[in-house]
Amino acid sequence: MTGTALIATALLLAGCGGSNESDDQADSSRANASSTGVPQMSDQQAPPERLVVDVTIKGGEVTPTNEQLQATVGDPIVVRVDSDAADQLHVISTPEHTFDIKPRSGQSFQFTVSAPGKVDVTLHDLNRTIASISVQ
């Protein structure tokens, strides 16, 4: 081999044997993969906080009643309802929301509030306040 060919071969071998940044990133991505093989995001935003209110309507009785809660403007609020009777759920807020409750378990209603203040969650037919939510 000539001197030029030796230098070219040496440079080629040095480039193949070294570690480079893209290899390190690939190793890091494989290390962060879950057992399902899906990479986990390290800079992923946390989901918004959710206030969840579990409501039971049975035999004309409502649980909870007049519960005092707190939430943040724009964060989702979820009301989960198990009911043995039809009714209407009213959310007195900005904006207002109305949801039809069916006589069944596992109903879920989600809303957000766009202005701070007191929000009442009520039942129309049973004329009950489930909760008052202080939204800030």
User: The domain spanning residue 97 has which CATH number?
Assistant: 2.60.40.420
Q: What would the pLDDT profile of 28-79 be if each residue is shown by its tens digit?
A: 444 444 445 544 545 566 555 789 999 999 999 999 999 999 999 999 999 9
Residues spanned by the domain of 122: 51-135
Number of residues that this document lists for the chain: 136
Kindly state whether residues 106 and 72 are assigned to the same domain.
yes
Kindly state whether residues 19 and 56 are assigned to the same domain.
no
Kindly state whether residues 17 and 36 are assigned to the same domain.
yes
* pLDDT value of residue 32: 42
Q: What would the pLDDT profile of 113-131 be if each residue is shown by its tens digit?
A: 999 999 999 999 999 999 9
Kindly state whether residues 112 and 88 are assigned to the same domain.
yes
Distance CA(66)–CA(61), nearest Å, equals 13
Kindly state whether residues 32 and 73 are assigned to the same domain.
no
pLDDT band (50, 70, 90) for residue 2: low
User: Could you give the number of structural domains in the chain?
Assistant: 2
| pTM (whole model) above 0.95 | no
